[in-house]
Structure 1
Amino acid sequence: MSRWGRAALATLLIGCGVGGRASVVSPCTLAITAERRCEVREGALFCAGVSGVGWPYPEDATVSARRRVAERRVALRGEVVAVTLGERHGCALLADGGVQCWGDNSLGQLGSGVCDAGALAPRAVALPAGAKTLASLGGRTCALLEDDTAVCWGGVDHLPGARWPCRPRRVRDAEGRPLGALAQVEVDAAIDQEGRLWVWGSDFFGQISQSEPGARRAPSFEAARVAELRDVRAVASTGTGTCVIDARRRVQCWGLTVGSAERSAAAGVPRPRVLSDVHGAVALSCDVTGCCVVDGEGLRCWGARELRVPLRAAEVDDALELRLGEGRVCVRGARLGERCEAR
């Protein structure tokens, strides 16, 4: 193992949540969007930003009265260990494995079993088992459950043929069995305990990586294995494309990943393509506008805007959290503190 350190690499690359026997996880204590910021501190959730749809405070949250609100504590029933924010909703993971979400529910973002106008106050998600980690992107959320299987709920409204469930649905293999033995779950992608990568959802832009773009346009909960990738260390999605950190700590992307670090990830690339200017990657994060990676030279982002920020080796070694939101990216660590950049 290089100077980055085995413990730091494991913490950076495997999931976010309450942990478990199969993986070392780093709690997602920070979530950001263009208008909001939420942070977990000492078992409680605090949010600040612009009120409106997706704001977790009922007394402030109305569509017609948007205003900037100072940080305050969110009323949640239980100890909070992780938080994620989507485009118009948010979810909190509790220490007991429960999940509570708030915001827009027109696409089933709250996972309550009905699609409706949504909830200003956090609403419990109807999970089949306790959750260990959470990931949100756009209107979608996926969870790694205590039995090492995955469920997803919510959807996106811009993909052709998209019909998403209003309650969590299990991800299954080609034989219809729940996809199990998973170590990391992101939105529409997962790494199993042997380092193999599985993807599901829509394939309109070739993000399933098994066929030409558009071959499987309707969203599906049947997972496909990306056979050409082994010993995958991390995965992230833009919703229309997928990127991974492989065993050699390179970044490979396919589908529509909103540009690339070398401007070569063309729309609809159906097979993983190595980004030649990323070396020694230790953290990866994507949202609907692009991706960011921490590698041996520092922080770099591509997509809506390209960004390069040099970091010292000690800072990279300590980069325990990389969080990406529309317009901002934040890197956090015990020695680094918090460093955020506009993008």
Structure 2
Amino acid sequence: MVLLTAALLLSAAFAPTVAMATTVSMGTSHGCSAADTHKITCWGSLAAPDFGPYSIKDVKVGRDFSCALLTNASVKCWGSNDLQQLGGPPVPETVARYYNADAIAVGATHACFRFVTRISCWGDGSQGQLGRHVQTQIGTETAVDGLSDVRHVAAGHGSTCVARLDGKVVCVGAGSGLAGAADDPRQPRTVPGISDALEVSLFDGHACVLRWGGRVSCWGNNRYGELGVPAGTGPLSTPVEVTGLAAAAKAVAVGNGYTCALLVNGTVSCWGNNANGQLGTGLAGGTAGQVTGITDATAISAGRTAACAVLEGGYVQCWGEGAGWNSAPCRMTTSFYPGVPATYNPPPDLAICLPQGSAAPMAVQGLGPVHDAALVLDWAEKTMPLTFAPQAAKVPAHIDGPYYLREYPGGHKLAVNGHGTPHLMYLGPESGGRLLDLGPLSQWVFQASRDAGIASGMQLQAGPYVDLMPGSGPCWEMIVPHAIRGGAQGLPDGLVTTAVRIESGGQSMEFPIRERHRFTVLTTATNWLSQQSLQPGQPVPPGMKEEPIYYGAAEGCPTIGTSGEVDVIVFYTLGQKKGLLRAKAKVGSAA
């Protein structure tokens, strides 16, 4: 078996950062991802602009333009404007178009945003995708009649669909694939047979909906079997349920003639057109089914000829033609995917290589696990220095190959695979010279981050509650205010919180940070969350003191039980280091 034979050099153009990708979006010839640092990375034909001081919550990609949802609830688009899909004449990159948005959707040539439970759209309306009031194109936000009480919005080529709060799906546009849409495309139409929709996904020619219980149903064209039934059956204007998934789905993504589902076990299954390797099964020996080597995906997106997944830990992996859109040779011929025996000692197999891509998952440059590999290897050296003697060079080297590797005296080696779900691996005398898979890298990052948090001396306090205010959004949101006080060395400069995790009953959910502040406030030994300030001329009350506190708040729709006591975990970065803090808290409510 060919194992861990050379150190891999990290390209200076893609120096490691501590950012974690939270979203990904693929289009026709480019892709983008937003990170927990509120910055975006784009690759392919359309680069990301300079957003200056603005922070980005999400990004969506169209045919030749993109739109970003900023944390101040505004929307900014860039790229081609031939059909006013940027929302009117181009404006400076730091100027946003629309405000009060809480979600966005981008189709081939138009875009939409949701505000609470209503949507407005702009751009190309020639196929009825903007509703009855727009005949050609428009550069100002326009409400789409009939698309109300919106839980989720999606846009495709010539179509706009929403999943409503009542579980129904309503669409406009000739591209919706519904009966009568071609004759009267501006008339809203309810998708028949669906009353339990959570999300809907579109691209060009077919659509799919994620339903309660993890079911997936699709309608539209079926030339390649993209509906989950035998190819050539269709087109169908009534949804058919996809059967044979290995587990319940928690997300669905529609591409050009193919479909992918993210399953609750973290794997991804794709079916339909595989002409460009977009099903991601190039090393698994099949033409449809589970994507090779992905076991911990948290988000997915499908484009024209490539699909992508965000993995736990914030890494982005793509597969298909144009997966990374760079001119480098195919990087997958010697890749190692844990759990995929066919890759343990693969001979060069150019059949999986595609122009600017791969038929198996490939790490997007700059969004791979190199930083976390270094974090864990540094932690191993600190924790077990007799086995893994600390090295002067702390960042694994990288060339476009299969491993991040460090070699130690006595024949000990630690490595992390570069593509697919990253695992920590050991080779040496402790394993009898055999490769030992130590499990997903993410669990070791968590351990290293926990130890860093404990060593910092910082303390966390949190006050999570459920917002029961009616009509405030598509769910009763959980709000997680939290406060961090410094240790013996005080509150460090450069501290940035990145995400909040709630754990309860063996289940967990993560929420993005919506705000961050650093204040000097009055605190006690047991309370530093209340943000009580000292008034001018007022003496410090007995039992209290003034100290700097780092405050933040996270929010999102809860996916697990939200009553009683929970564990609150706040992830943070400090320079190029990661850490986490943990505290117990009782969930309250506010109306």
Q: With structure 1 as the length reference, what TM-score do the two structures score? A: 0.69
SS of the aligned residue for 1:277 comes to: coil
Answer whether contact 2:228 2:243 (CA < 8 A) is retained.
no
SS of the aligned residue for 1:194 comes to: helix
Unmatched 5+ stretches in structure 2: 1-19, 25-55, 325-362, 373-441, 447-497, 500-509, 513-570, 574-591
Q: 1:305 to 1:335 in 2, by over 3 A?
A: farther
Give the distance between the partners of 1:94 and 1:40, measured in 2 at CA. 13
Q: 1:51 to 1:204 in 2, by over 3 A?
A: same
Amino acid at match of 2:254: S
Deviations 1:270-304 (A, max 9, x none): xx511232222222111223210123683211223
Give the distance between the partners of 1:205 and 1:54, measured in 2 at CA. 33
Q: 1:265 to 1:197 in 2, by over 3 A?
A: farther
SS of the aligned residue for 1:38 comes to: strand
Unmatched 5+ stretches in structure 1: 1-7, 14-26, 62-67, 174-178, 322-333, 337-343
Deviations 1:189-235 (A, max 9, x none): 12221111111122122111122x22203x51x11111222411221
**Which residue in the other structure is 1:281 paired with?**
297
**Which residue in the other structure is 1:180 paired with?**
195
Q: 1:180 to 1:277 in 2, by over 3 A?
A: same
Q: Which has the larger radius of gyration?
A: 2
**Which residue in the other structure is 1:103 paired with?**
123
**Which residue in the other structure is 2:234 paired with?**
216
Q: 1:172 to 1:198 in 2, by over 3 A?
A: same
**Which residue in the other structure is 2:306 paired with?**
290
Give the distance between the partners of 1:306 and 1:128, measured in 2 at CA. 34
Higher helix share: 2
Answer whether contact 1:54 1:104 (CA < 8 A) is retained.
yes
Answer whether contact 1:149 1:171 (CA < 8 A) is retained.
yes
Q: Does 1:46 align with 2:76?
A: yes
Give the distance between the partners of 1:286 and 1:72, measured in 2 at CA. 29
Q: 1:209 to 1:56 in 2, by over 3 A?
A: same
Amino acid at match of 1:32: V
Measured after TM superposition, the shift of residue 104 of structure 1 is 0.8
Q: 1:200 to 1:335 in 2, by over 3 A?
A: farther
Q: 1:153 to 1:287 in 2, by over 3 A?
A: farther
Amino acid at match of 1:46: K
Q: With structure 2 as the length reference, what TM-score do the two structures score? A: 0.42
SS of the aligned residue for 2:227 comes to: coil
**Which residue in the other structure is 1:206 paired with?**
225
Give the distance between the partners of 2:112 and 2:161, measured in 1 at CA. 10
Q: How does 1:1-343 map to 2 (within 5 A)?
A: 29-33=58-62, 34-58=64-88, 60=89, 69-75=92-98, 79-95=100-116, 97-110=117-130, 112-113=131-132, 116-127=135-146, 129-156=148-175, 163=182, 165-173=185-193, 179-187=194-202, 188-211=207-230, 213-217=231-235, 220=237, 222-229=238-245, 230-256=247-273, 258-260=276-278, 261-263=280-282, 273-295=289-311, 298-307=315-324, 308-309=363-364, 310-311=368-369, 312=372, 313=442
Measured after TM superposition, the shift of residue 106 of structure 1 is 1.5
Give the distance between the partners of 2:135 and 2:121, measured in 1 at CA. 14
Q: What is the root-mean-square deviation of aligned Cα atoms in Å?
A: 3.6
SS of the aligned residue for 1:127 comes to: coil
SS of the aligned residue for 2:94 comes to: strand
Give the distance between the partners of 1:51 and 1:106, measured in 2 at CA. 15
Measured after TM superposition, the shift of residue 253 of structure 1 is 0.7
Answer whether contact 1:54 1:90 (CA < 8 A) is retained.
no
Q: 1:42 to 1:28 in 2, by over 3 A?
A: closer
Give the distance between the partners of 2:233 and 2:283, measured in 1 at CA. 22
Deviations 1:124-159 (A, max 9, x none): 1112531111122333332111212112233559xx
